[in-house]
Amino acid sequence: MIAIPKGFRFAGISAGIKADMSKKDMSLIFTDDACAVAGVYTQNLVVAAPVTLDRQRTPSNAIRGVIVNSGNANACTGQQGFANTEAMCAAGAAEIGCAAEEVLVMSTGIIGVQLPMKKIIAGAKLLGTSRGEDSEAFLAAADGFLTTDNGRKTAGRQVEIGGQQITITGIAKGAGMIGINMATFLSVVMTDARIDAATLQAIQSRVIQSTFNCVSVEGHTSTNDTFLLMASGVVGSELNAEELAQFEGVLEEVCLELAKMIPADGEGASHVLEIDVSGAGSDEDAREIAEAVANSNLVKTCVAGNDPNWGRIVSAVGYAGIDIDADQIVLHLLGQKLFEQSEPVTFDESALSDAMRTSKEISIQLTVGSGPGSAKIWTSDLTTDYVVFNADYHT
Amino acid sequence: MIAIPKGFRFAGISAGIKADMSKKDMSLIFTDDACAVAGVYTQNLVVAAPVTLDRQRTPSNAIRGVIVNSGNANACTGQQGFANTEAMCAAGAAEIGCAAEEVLVMSTGIIGVQLPMKKIIAGAKLLGTSRGEDSEAFLAAADGFLTTDNGRKTAGRQVEIGGQQITITGIAKGAGMIGINMATFLSVVMTDARIDAATLQAIQSRVIQSTFNCVSVEGHTSTNDTFLLMASGVVGSELNAEELAQFEGVLEEVCLELAKMIPADGEGASHVLEIDVSGAGSDEDAREIAEAVANSNLVKTCVAGNDPNWGRIVSAVGYAGIDIDADQIVLHLLGQKLFEQSEPVTFDESALSDAMRTSKEISIQLTVGSGPGSAKIWTSDLTTDYVVFNADYHT
């Protein structure tokens, strides 16, 4: 059972935004007193109304909650869209019992269509009457985030920090071939620790680099991507520097667990690729190389076909645009060495293909020299199901 | 009927490198006297043996010919691979009647496997006895270049320049989702004009930018990509500056015609996307934006599904990493305006979808501001056939 941080209330309901009324499409998460919130948002220049609003309101020590809808992203909706996102916050605030300015908002779903405000307003009321503090209410809220996700995405940890029991628990949504596409990523991670918003923001900006940003390639973000970090502060006193470092380590674990659920649930994905590059001149160089491999459709399709096609991987390393000595490339796939000193290594192709078939996670380990730089990123493979899904998911 | 430049001889045969003996897999193109040759090669750091050899030998005014094989790329084959590519040149030279150093070489096909040298040597002999100067011999040579291509790729022009009739005719090969992947691109463009190698090299370096490089995204090139420009010089005297400019214009036409055949023949492609970006701050900025759209799997899949999904296109513009005013984005698809002033435009979705279904080429026209920069690139859509093909094409 997932640990629920103290001081939060949750609700998740169906407001009829999605055609399928059996699917939840609105959520509310709030605190009894003001909480501290930090936010990191999409790098896309085309930004949805809720992102514009949240950016104005975070970081802040005076937030009470966040209202969420799925099924409609409120993106590319102009001034009306922004007015709607403000009205959605006000509707949430009425249920929480606070000012509209104390509420944040997240939306995900189709773009270019105005929010169905009657449903949103009625949905907010229903959220107010459905509120709870237990795991049932928490899971209902998690379900309200989902769009094409195959399953709910939650992760949590309970740890003792400075003699106090602290809980860090998160919700995420995001499917699609994250990183090379526009599938929206949303996450709210909550804690009952007492940390001010500025400190939260600094921690969040570091943690996202090794977690959510490792399944989302730099700059390739959707119109709505949002990651909120909320601290209710109901447990004990403020954390000191050492305790904050401990907190950050646990937060990183939670975020990485959530992050890795995203490619695992990629539309039509049959494998998750873990691409681990070391020996580069710098971490940035390693990341560029890892991204070139992760974004190669030929690599993604050969993994889908359980084909240990070292040539496609090595070629992607070669075109990554990073100056390395190609003779130093060493490639392992699922622990099997495939390429070294510019030539393929003899291996049992049929056995390795069988191993790929029965393994959900495919590790691709690349050494590209003797430098100190390394990076690890995750992505999905590319299957016919992905194409069918994305050719048919209409605007 | 395609015009054949004077002074060239051609052969194309089956040497049994490909499993299917009905398919040609070796070609020879040569001149009776020394010809001028310029070359542009892959930017990949992982480079096949024939590319290493040709780089050493071009530009040159003392080349006699090029020997080509398909079915085996001679890439990632180490020192033995380089010795084999030298031996292949020597075998070609023996048939031409020249020194091995006067011959260039191109290979395409599977990588990491040594060339079958017995077949290559026997094939070279057969090329020698199959030589011809007519279009039949030319087309046989063109067929010897092909791998997964659905069809032969040739283009030619005959023009009068400076009172002389000059022919420019080319052969290309390249399938796959060129640009984001490692599908190999090879091309030889031949002319009977008299132009020295240094001048040819300068012309070629310019022409490739607006032609072959517009279907192949910067830096994303395979281990074997090679473009040779050969001038037999048998027609009249050297061209003056004005005549050279005229020559360059015609060469650009030939290369663009060849270039556009590549995405049209992409593995499993049902549409070619023409992405035309204008109003950017610079041509480089426009190109970055066009590439972001061209490389988006979500854009490629919606085109495959005949879905005018403006949101995926606009979002790709937003994450291209180029600083533009998102409010100024205007998008037309097949001439229909879909997006302007940050909001979608009302249009007949079903009629536009029908138009996409019946159109092989899908024009995506983006204005991103009022700047002078523009770029036009071409790519293929992403179909289930592509995935099936690439998941099953084993190393």
**CATH code, domain with A376:** 3.10.20.340
Contact across the interface for A382 and B47, Cβ inside 8 Å: no
Does residue A205 fall inside a structural domain?
yes
Per-residue pLDDT, A189: 98
A38-97 pLDDT, tens per residue?
999 998 999 999 999 999 999 999 999 999 999 999 999 999 999 999 999 999 999 999
Strands A330-333 and A186-191: unpaired
Suggest the residue from B76, B323, B338 to mutate for an interface test with chain A (most A CBs closer than 10 A): B76
Give residue B73's domain range.
8-264
Q: Measured between CA atoms, how close is B219 to chain A, in angstroms?
A: 6
Per-residue pLDDT, A181: 38
In this structure, the answer to whether residues A76 and A136 fall within a common structural domain is: yes
In this structure, the answer to whether residues B121 and B229 fall within a common structural domain is: yes
Contact across the interface for A182 and B221, Cβ inside 8 Å: no
**CATH code, domain with A99:** 3.60.70.12
Per-residue pLDDT, A265: 79
Q: Measured between CA atoms, how close is A270 to chain B, in angstroms?
A: 12
Q: How many alpha carbons fall within 13 Å on the CB side of residue A157?
A: 18
């089956």: which residue's tokens?
A: B14
B122-177 pLDDT, tens per residue?
999 999 999 999 999 999 999 999 988 888 999 999 999 999 999 999 999 986 54
Does residue A359 fall inside a structural domain?
yes
A310-369 pLDDT, tens per residue?
998 999 999 999 999 999 999 999 999 999 999 999 999 999 999 999 999 999 999 999
For the residues A5-10, what does the mean pLDDT come to?
98
**Residue of B75, B182, B344 lying closest to A76 (CB–CB):** B344
**Terminal alpha carbon distance of chain B:** 37
Does residue B3 fall inside a structural domain?
no
**Residue of B177, B221, B316 lying closest to A297 (CB–CB):** B177
For residue B317, list chain A residues with Cβ-Cβ distance below 8 A. 45-46
CA–CA distance, B81 with B69 (Å, rounded to integer): 14
Q: CA nearest B36: which of B228, B212, B168, B225?
A: B228
CB A120 within 8 A of CB A15: yes
Burial (Cβ within 10 Å: 0-12, 13-18, ≥19) of residue A114:
middle
In this structure, the answer to whether residues B131 and B152 fall within a common structural domain is: yes
Listed in sequence order, the residues at least 6 apart from B55 whose beta carbon sits closer than 8 Å to its beta carbon are: B39, B41
Whether A149 has a pLDDT exceeding 90, the answer reads: no
Whether A242 has a pLDDT exceeding 90, the answer reads: yes
Q: CA nearest B382: which of A110, A263, A267, A321?
A: A267
In this structure, the answer to whether residues A164 and A296 fall within a common structural domain is: no
Q: Measured between CA atoms, how close is A132 to chain B, in angstroms?
A: 36
3-state SS of chain B?
Answer: CCCCCCCEEEEEECCCCCCCCCCCCEEEEEEEEEEEEEEEECCCCCCCHHHHHHHHHCCEEEEEEEEEEEEECCCCCHHHHHHHHHHHHHHHHHHHCCCHHHEEEEEEEECCCCCCHHHHHHHHHHHHHHCECCHHHHHHHHHCCCCCCCCCEEEEEEEEECCEEEEEEEEEECCCCECCECCCCEEEEEECCECCHHHHHHHHHHHHHHCHHHCCCCCCCCCCCEEEEEECCCCCCECCHHHHHHHHHHHHHHHHHHHHHHHHCCCCCCCEEEEEEEEECCHHHHHHHHHHHHCCHHHHHHHHCCCCCHHHHHHHHHCCCCCCCHHHCEEEECCEEEEECCEECCCCHHHHHHHHHCCCEEEEEEECCCCCEEEEEEEECCCHHHHHHHHHCCC
**Residue of A222, A309, A390 lying closest to B395 (CB–CB):** A309
Contact across the interface for A387 and B384, Cβ inside 8 Å: yes
For residue B223, list chain A residues with Cβ-Cβ distance below 8 A. 311, 315, 318
Contact across the interface for A318 and B220, Cβ inside 8 Å: no
Domain end point (choices B233, B264, B295): B264
What is chain A's length? 395
In this structure, the answer to whether residues A344 and A249 fall within a common structural domain is: no
CB B380 within 8 A of CB B271: yes
3-state SS of chain A?
Answer: CCCCCCCEEEEEECCCCCCCCCCCCEEEEEEEEEEEEEEEECCCCCCCHHHHHHHHHCCEEEEEEEEEEEEECCCCCHHHHHHHHHHHHHHHHHHHCCCHHHEEEEEEEECCCCCCHHHHHHHHHHHHHHCECCHHHHHHHHHCCCCCCCCCEEEEEEEEECCEEEEEEEEEECCCCECCECCCCEEEEEECCECCHHHHHHHHHHHHHHCHHHCCCCCCCCCCCEEEEEECCCCCCECCHHHHHHHHHHHHHHHHHHHHHHHHCCCCCCCEEEEEEEEECCHHHHHHHHHHHHCCHHHHHHHHCCCCCHHHHHHHHHCCCCCCCHHHCEEEECCEEEEECCEECCCCHHHHHHHHHCCCEEEEEEECCCCCEEEEEEEECCCHHHHHHHHHCCC
Q: Measured between CA atoms, how close is B51 to chain A, in angstroms?
A: 14
Does residue B341 fall inside a structural domain?
yes
Domain end point (choices B248, B264, B280): B264
Which residues of A belong to the active site? 184
Instruction: For chain B, list residues with pLDDT below 70.
Output: 175-183, 216-220, 267, 389-395
Longest Cα–Cα distance of chain B, Å, equals 68
Mean residue pLDDT of chain A comes to 92
Listed in sequence order, the residues at least 6 apart from B82 whose beta carbon sits closer than 8 Å to its beta carbon are: B49, B52, B53
For residue B45, list chain A residues with Cβ-Cβ distance below 8 A. 317-319, 323-324, 326
A259-286 pLDDT, tens per residue?
999 888 776 788 999 999 999 999 999 9
Does residue A2 fall inside a structural domain?
no
**Residue of B78, B311, B382 lying closest to A76 (CB–CB):** B311
In this structure, the answer to whether residues B146 and B36 fall within a common structural domain is: yes
Q: Measured between CA atoms, how close is A137 to chain B, in angstroms?
A: 33
In this structure, the answer to whether residues A313 and A346 fall within a common structural domain is: yes
Q: Name the domain count of chain A.
A: 2
Query: pLDDT tier at A183 (50, 70, 90 boundaries)?
Result: low
**Residue of B296, B307, B383 lying closest to A394 (CB–CB):** B307
Per-residue pLDDT, B54: 98
Strands B186-191 and B226-231: parallel
Which of the residue ranges A112-126, A168-182, B28-42, B189-203 would you say has the lowest mean pLDDT?
A168-182
CA–CA distance, A249 with A240 (Å, rounded to integer): 14
Pairs of CB atoms within 8 A across A/B: 198
For residue B184, list chain A residues with Cβ-Cβ distance below 8 A. none
In this structure, the answer to whether residues A287 and A212 fall within a common structural domain is: no
- ipTM score assigned to the predicted complex: 0.86
Does residue A1 fall inside a structural domain?
no
In this structure, the answer to whether residues B260 and B277 fall within a common structural domain is: no
């780089």: which residue's tokens?
A: B55
Does residue A3 fall inside a structural domain?
no
Active-site option among B77, B184, B221, B226: B184
* Percent of the residues in chain A that have a pLDDT greater than 90, as a whole number: 80
In this structure, the answer to whether residues A87 and A202 fall within a common structural domain is: yes
Domain end point (choices A198, A231, A264): A264
Does residue B1 fall inside a structural domain?
no
Q: CA nearest B276: which of B230, B225, B317, B231?
A: B317
């379900």: which residue's tokens?
A: A143
In this structure, the answer to whether residues A241 and A287 fall within a common structural domain is: no
In this structure, the answer to whether residues A231 and A292 fall within a common structural domain is: no
Contact across the interface for A326 and B43, Cβ inside 8 Å: no
Whether A177 has a pLDDT exceeding 70, the answer reads: no
For residue B115, list chain A residues with Cβ-Cβ distance below 8 A. none
* Percent of the residues in chain A that have a pLDDT greater than 70, as a whole number: 94
For residue B384, list chain A residues with Cβ-Cβ distance below 8 A. 384, 387-388
Whether A178 has a pLDDT exceeding 60, the answer reads: no
